[in-house]
Chain A
């Protein structure tokens, strides 16, 4: 059973066992505008919670994507290289960025659940 959690920096993370899939939220893609390029981490790379994991570029801005939890990258979404618009079309699904193997499951406790995140973005608007 997987649940979706969120980081305050607008990344979502779906965890199954000790494997997590990470992307950016629909709110984040809307703020960015048309995504033109995504720079993804290499499989094998070590990510630290809260540190830069990827970069997402739109026409007018480039934003860092931070690792919501620490771990090792096992797969990057190759589809984004050919079609970065997947991030805009389906941020929560086929627009995923990378999968990683968690190194510290305790970090999950620090993430926001769906309701908390919805409240957060409501405040921003």
Chain B
């Protein structure tokens, strides 16, 4: 046992935990891996007998076993039910991850996405048989264009990061079409890591633009960095510090004057949806995260959907396919680069986009309507400012308020306590809250970024405030031990991540099973 883990396990929680024979602890049930539940020959599905035929599989027939475990249906249900019970989720409680917008995921969306008329459609069915589906995509596209004040939208990107790729590819295509040798992209230094990674994937080099004292993009620095070799500026608005870029119009003007494009990362759209249109701010391309702003579920990491709204100058480069409508009102899919789509930069994925997420997002938008969406951004910003105002006297706010939909703190309030931002976050787990985003954005030391969203009640926020104030008091009054040992009440305690990275074990193997038993 390393010093590290010995120190953690030396701490014992106040109420002595009783040990059990089974290893379970009441409703906290230990669950083996699927492969350790193998009943060879068992099957959780009943299939008809295979008719006798002359096989036509050719010479490449599988001869050996695959090694998959056999399990009955009740055992499978129990396995996954137990697994689910070890997860925190939005349905469980407040999930204040900054820039993730963990809002309530309505079940109406799930019901409608499962209608056979949406879920049981093959992407290559004759277009006459899917007019309703194409109309749905077109309707959603329309909502997005109206909400953002942009004339065009590319619907196919599968997630936010792919949406960024789409926007930057469109910009690169536009630059190339003009025959310009612009190969540099400027990225706000508070940007999420996907921004520079995306720019590089499009063949650009990346330079950072610093923030000013007010946490916004430094306009003077930007102007100094703009030049005839710059293709675009990538920024987030509101930015990752939770602040609205107050000089966004001047920024856009400077970028355009230099012949470059303005890409906006739309991760924080929830702060302004229904109230402000990015098109009015001078944005040329912006990806929208349907799984953030428009409530499609996060699913433990995906799937997402990242449509990209585009200016008139960039619209013609949008990726295939395009959903188009002729004069008679009939919908079609333009999936070759000809006609209006002749300058499309190509395909980003196999089919038309994340239809399942389109249905969910449209159901959400229609439920809220224009008035509801305006209330969404209002309440999101109100909730974040309420948290900021209620905590800034004990936790160190990175910037003076007001903030937008998220509040940023740094670790100055933990100075000389021996408690790090990480320790503080782990203590929150024992309090029954998922921690806020930590150590992002990188521009602030030991960042704690809190985004409550509009679907949290005042009572929840008050409870959260009380807990944060209490933890801060503990940290600053010498109770560091509790934080170092945290969490102690969760299904697992802190993990040895070094071991996981030094000698990665990325799958179960039969030999490993024997070793685990021995330890």
Q: Answer whether A and B touch in the complex at a CB cut-off of 8 Å.
A: yes
Q: Mark A25-45, 1 if CB is under 8 A from B, else 0.
A: 000000001101100000000
* A-contacting residues, B493-512, CB 8 Å: 497-498, 500-502
Contacts of A57 in B (CB 8 A): 501
Q: Is A85 an interface residue (CB 8 A)?
A: yes
Give Cα A67–Cα B501 distance, bound, in whole angstroms.
26
Among A33, A59, A85: residue with most chain B CB under 10 A? A59
Q: Mark B17-29, 1 if CB is under 8 A from A, else 0.
A: 0000000000000
Interface size counted on chain B using CB atoms at 8 A:
6
- Report the nearest A residue to B504, measured CB to CB: A36
- Report the nearest B residue to A84, measured CB to CB: B502
Please give the distance in Å from A17's CB to the nearest CB on chain B. Answer: 35
For the side of the interface on A, what is the size category? 10 to 19
Contacts of B439 in A (CB 8 A): 60
Give Cα A46–Cα B498 distance, bound, in whole angstroms.
32
Give Cα A81–Cα B453 distance, bound, in whole angstroms.
45
Give Cα A59–Cα B422 distance, bound, in whole angstroms.
14
Please give the distance in Å from A57's CB to the nearest CB on chain B. Answer: 7
Give Cα A35–Cα B498 distance, bound, in whole angstroms.
8
B interface, by DSSP: helix, strand, loop or mixed?
A: helix
Contacts of A84 in B (CB 8 A): 502
Please give the distance in Å from B96's CB to the nearest CB on chain A. Answer: 21
* B-contacting residues, A5-40, CB 8 Å: 33-34, 36-37
Give Cα A59–Cα B501 distance, bound, in whole angstroms.
6
Give Cα A70–Cα B497 distance, bound, in whole angstroms.
36
* B-contacting residues, A53-104, CB 8 Å: 57-60, 84-85
Contacts of A58 in B (CB 8 A): 498, 501
Contacts of B497 in A (CB 8 A): 59
Give Cα A59–Cα B499 distance, bound, in whole angstroms.
9
Among B497, B500, B501: residue with most chain A CB under 10 A? B501
Among A33, A36, A37: residue with most chain B CB under 10 A? A36
Give Cα A7–Cα B53 distance, bound, in whole angstroms.
73
Please give the distance in Å from B445's CB to the nearest CB on chain A. Answer: 13
Give Cα A84–Cα B498 distance, bound, in whole angstroms.
11
Give Cα A34–Cα B501 distance, bound, in whole angstroms.
10
Give Cα A64–Cα B106 distance, bound, in whole angstroms.
45
Contacts of A33 in B (CB 8 A): 498
Please give the distance in Å from A61's CB to the nearest CB on chain B. Answer: 10
- Report the nearest A residue to B422, measured CB to CB: A60
* A-contacting residues, B416-467, CB 8 Å: 439
- Report the nearest A residue to B4, measured CB to CB: A34
Give Cα A37–Cα B500 distance, bound, in whole angstroms.
11
* A-contacting residues, B63-101, CB 8 Å: none
Contacts of B500 in A (CB 8 A): 59
Please give the distance in Å from A37's CB to the nearest CB on chain B. Answer: 7
Among A33, A34, A57: residue with most chain B CB under 10 A? A34
Contacts of A60 in B (CB 8 A): 439
Give Cα A42–Cα B127 distance, bound, in whole angstroms.
55
Please give the distance in Å from A101's CB to the nearest CB on chain B. Answer: 31
Give Cα A59–Cα B449 distance, bound, in whole angstroms.
21
Give Cα A37–Cα B501 distance, bound, in whole angstroms.
8
Give Cα A51–Cα B281 distance, bound, in whole angstroms.
40
Contacts of A37 in B (CB 8 A): 501-502
Give Cα A60–Cα B438 distance, bound, in whole angstroms.
12
Give Cα A59–Cα B502 distance, bound, in whole angstroms.
9
- Report the nearest B residue to A88, measured CB to CB: B498
- Report the nearest A residue to B500, measured CB to CB: A59
Please give the distance in Å from B460's CB to the nearest CB on chain A. Answer: 30
- Report the nearest A residue to B2, measured CB to CB: A34
Give Cα A60–Cα B495 distance, bound, in whole angstroms.
13
Give Cα A58–Cα B500 distance, bound, in whole angstroms.
11
Contacts of B501 in A (CB 8 A): 36-37, 57-59
Contacts of B498 in A (CB 8 A): 33-34, 36, 58-59
Give Cα A84–Cα B501 distance, bound, in whole angstroms.
11
A-B pairs with lowest CB-CB distance, top 3: A36-B501, A34-B498, A59-B497
Q: List 18 A-B contacts (CB under 8 A).
A: A33-B498, A34-B498, A34-B502, A36-B498, A36-B501, A36-B502, A37-B501, A37-B502, A57-B501, A58-B498, A58-B501, A59-B497, A59-B498, A59-B500, A59-B501, A60-B439, A84-B502, A85-B502
Other than the given A34-B498, A36-B501, A36-B502, 15 more pairs (CB < 8 A) read A33-B498, A34-B502, A36-B498, A37-B501, A37-B502, A57-B501, A58-B498, A58-B501, A59-B497, A59-B498, A59-B500, A59-B501, A60-B439, A84-B502, A85-B502
